[in-house]
């Protein structure tokens, strides 16, 4: 967070990088035009020369994160292509969990996002999905990837590191206070539901369930 100040010190790329740092450190709601300006030792209004408004800045942050997405190999069959695409999306988002909603919002504005989706829609069509169904499945895939990352158990407590343990403890106590005879499963699951015990497994399983569901649909269409 060093304060850089010189003539023409502000350009969109630098601003977006700084903004992403702030989002990572303080969450999406923690990003403020004034904070970005301060980080550059500049007046808030200086940013309005480079971006039309805050919305445009957020979109640019989304674009920046999306750009590191990779398109799975064209030759892969539907099942593996879908798994690879979702894994790639999840990986990109896990690098900047707070920016997830921006990624979901901007993915179609990026060439890599369009290419990935076009190929996916094509494979779905070949597997027998009609246009409406393919569109829905592509939409589910994107949104589920985002949800997995941005709502990973315990992720909502990523900020205010002092409070984090306190909030965790409060949730734990709340579940522990439930009557054992009525909520035995909930009590046993408490720890796992509050904080993800194995994040890699959490993502792999989430993706696997969705992929299996889509493939069940594909099989049903194949024999119809």
How near is the Cβ of 147 to a second copy at its closest, in Å?
Answer: 4
Give which of a second copy, DNA, none residue 33 binds (C-beta under 5 to 8 Å, depending on kind): DNA
Give the footprint of a second copy on this chain (CB under 8 A). 104, 108-109, 114, 117-118, 121-122, 125, 131-140, 143-144, 146-148, 151, 153, 174-175, 178, 182-186, 188-189, 192-193, 197-198, 201-202, 205-206, 208-214, 216-217
User: How far apart are alpha carbons 32 and 148 in whole angstroms?
Assistant: 26
User: How far apart are alpha carbons 23 and 7 in whole angstroms?
Assistant: 26
Question: Per CB under 7 A, does 59 bind DNA?
Answer: no
Provide the b/e sequence for 2-11 (b: ≥16 CB within 10 Å): eeeeeeeebe
Alpha helices in 107-183 (DSSP H): 111-126, 131-150, 161-176
Q: Are 108 and 114 in contact (CB under 8 A)?
A: yes
How many other CB atoms are found less than 10 A from the CB of residue 13?
10
How near is the Cβ of 55 to DNA at its closest, in Å?
Answer: 6
How near is the Cβ of 67 to a second copy at its closest, in Å?
Answer: 18
Give which of a second copy, DNA, none residue 43 binds (C-beta under 5 to 8 Å, depending on kind): DNA
8-37 footprint of DNA as x/- string (CB under 7 A): xxx--------------------xxxxx--
Nearer to DNA (CB atom), residue 23 or residue 85: 23
Nearer to a second copy (CB atom), residue 91 or residue 135: 135
User: How far apart are alpha carbons 132 and 58 in whole angstroms?
Assistant: 30
Helix axes 78-94, 131-150, angle to 10 degrees: 30
Q: Can you give the binding site for DNA, defined by CB under 7 A?
A: 7-10, 31-35, 42-46, 48-50, 53-55
């Amino acid at each position: 967070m060093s304060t850089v100040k010189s003539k023409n010190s502000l350009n969109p790329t630098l601003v977006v990088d700084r903004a992403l740092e702030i989002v990572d450190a303080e969450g999406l709601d923690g990003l403020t035009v004034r904070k970005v300006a301060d980080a550059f030792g500049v007046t808030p209004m200086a940013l309005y020369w480079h971006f039309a408004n805050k919305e445009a800045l957020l979109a640019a942050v989304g674009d920046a994160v999306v750009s590191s997405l990779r398109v799975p190999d064209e030759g892969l069959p539907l099942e593996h292509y879908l798994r690879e695409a979702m894994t790639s999306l999840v990986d990109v988002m896990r690098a900047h969990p707070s920016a997830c909603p921006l990624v979901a919002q901007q993915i179609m504005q990026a060439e890599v996002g369009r290419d990935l989706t076009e190929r996916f829609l094509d494979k779905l069509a070949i597997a027998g999905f009609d246009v409406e169904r393919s569109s829905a499945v592509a939409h589910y895939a994107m949104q589920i990837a985002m949800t997995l990352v941005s709502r990973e158990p315990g992720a909502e407590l990523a900020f205010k590191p002092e409070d984090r343990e306190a909030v965790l403890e409060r949730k734990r106590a709340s579940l522990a206070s439930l009557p054992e005879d009525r909520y035995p499963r909930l009590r046993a699951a408490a720890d796992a539901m509050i904080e993800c015990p194995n994040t890699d497994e959490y993502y792999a399983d989430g993706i696997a369930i969705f992929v299996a569901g889509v493939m069940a649909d594909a099989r049903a269409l194949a024999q119809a």
